[in-house]
A and B are shown apart, each in its own frame.
Chain A
Amino acid sequence: MLIEFRLPQFGMGMSDGTITKWFKAEGDLLVEGETLLEIEAAKTTVEVPAPVGGRLKQIVVAADMNVPVQTVIALIEGEGAANSDATPLAEEADVPTPAAEVAEAAKPKATPLARRAAEANGVDLDSVQGSGPGGRIRRDDVHAASDTCQAPDGGKRVSVQVEPRARRAARELGIDLDRVTGSGPNGRIVEADVRSWKLAPTAAPSTIPTPSPVAAGATFKEVPHSKMRQIIAQRLTESKQTVPHFYLTAHCEIDALLAARARINAAFPDEKVSVNDFVIKAVASALMKVPDANVTWTDAAMQRHSVADIAMAVATEGGLITPIVRGAEGKTLRTIAAEAKDLAGRARNGGLSPREYKGGSASVSNLGMFGVEEFSAIINPPHSCIFAVGAGLEKPVVRDGALAVATVMTVTLAVDHRAVDGAVAALLLSRFKSFIEEPLSLLA
């Protein structure tokens, strides 16, 4: 009988995979359990065995193609009963054909608990040795299979191995192992992978289907997307599409701030404070003053934060990342300056731990150093606010009815209007401007 062989899911995070190699050709005989193809998914390369014995009738998805999990990738003319791997999410076991009853090795059944455990852990039931009567697969067998590096049939990995040295290196350097591709046997992450990752965070190759080859003489080159680029694209699109952005602009006179900064830096020449550090502190202080703006929208409820964790946008080689200065409302300018410097440095080296860039109350994006006067930023979920800060430029201003010159920094606040109403946003911006224009108020 013809069996649809679907791309299995390895690991809960896997949503798609790229077939890197077919080990058999159409028409080849298959032995159940022998390696049929190799796939590459987010973190690892996995060898996939044939789910049944029989003949490989048709390869539906060719090598180098990336398809979602559960896509039919091949058709197999099976000898025995239909197996659970062909449709791992199926609840019912297929009724075995009469031929199956005399098949060389009728597929052992799996208990419902085992099936659920296999699904939850991304374990291929085919690779599991059943310890129940008649080889029946029990839940414990599934758990054992998902923990072991080597399946009883000796070849398939279902979880990523990390050698202890590599784990330690990852801990030391604050590298998320989820981001590292393993070069060791069977996709194992070895120490070298971790240590070299920090130098080239965009090392992971593309898994998006490559379009047709570029014609000779073309005026463009195709660069496959890095994982980071894909994530940025996905998140910001999601933000723009789902969050109702509402914008307010303020022009802040920063002469007093610049003077204060000069004096502080003279007093602490080794711990220089930048304008952006003032901005971070001002944002944090403003949020504490306007708690209605220090919130995160969820479908179920509004999360009201009691601290102000301020994310700062940092441009790295690979793209944008936003490390967080936690509890900025309670930190001195110098502390903020030191942390910001450290975080930015490590962000560029790829040495941030997830804790350091996930979460937060609001973001600050500062393009002042590029001379940009004014701009609007895109909110980073789960924040409700983002402050887009421009350069401080000398401008004519009106004071007491007369023209004067002041250094003006334009700040555009974008808020999530589901969470933060216009009036609240206005109040927030107003408070922010007060803190910026009277920097001593940041001390009080």
Chain B
Amino acid sequence: MASKTFLEAIRDAQYEEMARDPAVFVMGEDVESNMFGTFSGLMEEFGPDRGRNTPIAEAGMTGVAIGAAMVGMRPIVDYTMAPFLYPAFDQIISMAAKTRYLYGGQSGVPVVLRSNMIYGNGNSAQHSDRPYSMFMNMPGLNIIVPSSAYEMKGLLKTAIRNNDPVLSFEDVALWSSKSEIPEEEYLIPFGVADIKREGEDVTIFAIGAMVNLALAAAEELAKEGVSCEVVDPRTVAPLDRAAILKSARKTGRFVAVDCSFEACSAASEVCALVAEQAFWDLRGPVKRVTTMNTHIPFSPPMEKQLYPSVEKVIDAVRYTLA
């Protein structure tokens, strides 16, 4: 075991997979200068062919990655920030998500599209996005949102080996967080949630960095005798519906914590699932804790209030108990 940060986990996953499979390569803006430390040692080890800088041409680079993937390569595309996926939206949707289906399974698109989510830092409306919920609405995509360094490594390795497109959303708030990482290789499968804390009274579903908020809230609430179960889906596509429903049925109360904007968020999706299929086991209403539906402003007093917080999660739990 070794203690590694989230960023180190990304770097290790990429390194190990590139060593294992010569088809894996990395491309993106400023890859070669290793801005965030996720490519340390990669170029030296594997050569410049497998770690390429691209022009600022998100649609173009996505299309190139897709084409390469269709003929046998396994590209990892690094967009740096999540909002930079938007110029590539058509390539992701029309080409990556749909190609296997459209051509009747004649080919697949094994690409990994990585980006980070940075918010709460005064970066204003265009640079503070958390868009994984938007992509959930399109079939054909896999979406990982790791909640710790341990999850990050296991999910990214699975992503690279997966034969379909995978979007990886990496919360900057977790970058320096550490986990104990085993020496032996491990993969985390998609569509399998993890119960981060067992409980009896209320289920708190939380995505990515929100898992820590949920756990902190659970600690607080335990002092009042409220026992919370925290469910981390790890991947929002595929979504482990069975685990979510099982927990909701057990506790009868459901809170979903998601840093997306509220409208059509992942939290909305799981609440709808629970209300539809676990209704008769419920003891109270479902409740979402999300980012409020307004653009992200620059000035801190305006910005900070908008995102989920431990207090908001505690309030939400109380709402379901009332």
Q: Which residue of B lies closest to A191 (CB)?
A: B283
A190 touching B283, Cβ below 8 Å:
yes
Residues 300-322 (chain B) with a chain A CB within 8 angstroms: 322
Q: How far is the CA of A30 from the CA of B282 in the complex (A)?
A: 38
Chain B hits for A163, CB < 8 A = 252, 282-284
Q: Are B280 and A165 in contact (CB under 8 A)?
A: yes
Structural contact, B283 and A165, CB atoms closer than 8 A: yes
Chain A: which residue is nearest B280 at the CB level? A168
Residues on the B chain within 8 Å of A354, using CB? none
Task: Say how far A169's CB is from chain B's closest CB, in angstroms.
Answer: 9
Q: How far is the CA of A185 from the CA of B279 in the complex (A)?
A: 19
Contact B322 A185 (CB under 8 A): yes
Asked if A165 and B252 make an inter-chain contact with CB atoms under 8 angstroms apart, the answer reads yes
Separation in Å of the A354 CB from the closest CB of chain B? 21
B281 interface contact, C-beta 8 A: yes
- Report how far A190 CA is from B282 CA in the complex, Å: 10
The residues of B that contact A164 with a CB separation of less than 8 Å are 279-283
Shortest CB–CB separation between residue B279 and chain A, in angstroms?
5
Does residue A167 face the partner (Cβ distance < 8 Å to B)?
A: yes
Smallest CB separation, B278 vs chain A (Å): 9
Provide the residues of chain B in CB contact with A165, threshold 8 Å.
Answer: 252, 280-283
**When chains A and B are docked, how far (Å) is the Cα of A51 from the Cα of B322?**
26
Candidates A167, A185, A190; contact of B280 at CB < 8 Å: A167
**Contact mask for chain B residues 246-287; partner A; CB cutoff 8 A; 1 contact, 0 none:** 000000100000000000000000000000000111111000
Mostly, the A contact residues are helix
Residues on A with beta carbons closer than 8 Å to the beta carbon of B281: 164-165, 168
Contact with B along A136-168 (1 / 0, CB 8 A): 000000000000000000000000000111011
Residues of chain A from 20 to 66 with CB closer than 8 A to chain B in the complex: none
* Closest-CB distance, A353 to chain B (whole angstroms): 18
- Give a binary string over A181-206; 1 marks a CB under 8 Å from any B CB, 0 the rest: 00001000011000000000000000
A185 to B321, CA, bound (A): 9
Report the bound CA distance from A190 to B252 in whole Å.
Answer: 11
CA distance A165 to B282 in the complex (A): 6
> Within residues 324 to 382 of chain A, which ones have a CB less than 8 A from any CB in chain B?
none
B322 shortest CB reach to chain A, Å = 6
Q: How far is the CA of A167 from the CA of B282 in the complex (A)?
A: 10
Contact mask for chain B residues 57-85; partner A; CB cutoff 8 A; 1 contact, 0 none? 00000000000000000000000000000
Cα(A168)–Cα(B252), bound, Å: 13
Q: How far is the CB of B20 from chain A (nearest CB, A)?
A: 50
Chain A residues near B252 (CB, 8 Å)?
A: 163, 165
CA distance A164 to B275 in the complex (A): 11
Q: How far is the CB of A159 from chain B (nearest CB, A)?
A: 16
**Most B C-beta atoms less than 10 A away, residue of A165, A167, A190:** A165
Interface string of A301-341 (1 = CB under 8 A from B): 00000000000000000000000000000000000000000
Residues in A with CB closer than 8 Å to B283 are 163-165, 190-191
For the complex, give the distance between the alpha carbons of A190 and B201 in Å: 14
Contacting residues, chain B, for A167 (C-beta < 8 A): 280
**Distance in angstroms between the alpha carbons of A167 and B283 in the assembled complex:** 10
Chain B residues within an 8 Å CB radius of A190: 283
Q: Which residues of A contact B282 (CB under 8 A)?
A: 163-165
What is the bound-complex CA distance between A165 and B284, given in angstroms?
A: 9
Chain A, Cβ-Cβ closest to B321: A185
In the bound complex, CA of A164 to CA of B252 (Å): 9
Cα A132 to Cα B282 with chains together (Å) = 35
**Chain A positions within 8 Å of B322 at CB level:** 185
A196 to B277, CA, bound (A): 26
A163 and B84 CA atoms in complex are apart in Å by 45
Q: Which chain A residue shows the least CB distance to B249?
A: A165
Q: Which residues of A contact B284 (CB under 8 A)?
A: 163
- Closest Cβ–Cβ distance, residue B274 to chain A (whole Å): 11
Tell me the minimal C-beta distance from B145 to chain A in angstroms. Answer: 30
A239 to B252, CA, bound (A): 46
With the chains together, A185 CA to B284 CA distance in Å? 11
The distance in angstroms between the C-alpha atoms of A167 and B280, with both chains bound, is 7
Nearest chain-A residue to B252 (Cβ)?
A: A165
For chain A residues 361-406, which have a beta carbon within 8 Å of chain B?
none
Please measure, in the bound complex, the distance between the C-alpha atom of A163 and the C-alpha atom of B282, giving whole angstroms: 7
CA distance A121 to B284 in the complex (A): 24
Distance of A163 Cα from B280 Cα, bound (Å): 8
Residue of chain B at shortest CB distance from A149:
B285
With a CB–CB cut-off of 8 A, which chain B residues contact A185? 322
Q: Which residues 88-132 of A have a CB within 8 angstroms of B?
A: none
Q: Looking at B279, B282, B283, which has the most chain A CB atoms within 10 Å of its CB?
A: B283
Give me the interface of A with B, judged by CB distance under 8 Å.
163-165, 167-168, 185, 190-191
Between A and B, 20 residue pairs with Cβ closer than 8 Å are: A163-B252, A163-B282, A163-B283, A163-B284, A164-B279, A164-B280, A164-B281, A164-B282, A164-B283, A165-B252, A165-B280, A165-B281, A165-B282, A165-B283, A167-B280, A168-B280, A168-B281, A185-B322, A190-B283, A191-B283
Given A165-B281, A165-B282, 6 new contacts (CB under 8 A): A163-B252, A163-B284, A164-B283, A165-B252, A168-B281, A191-B283
A-B pairs with the 10 shortest C-beta distances? A168-B280, A164-B282, A163-B283, A164-B280, A164-B279, A165-B283, A165-B281, A165-B252, A185-B322, A165-B280
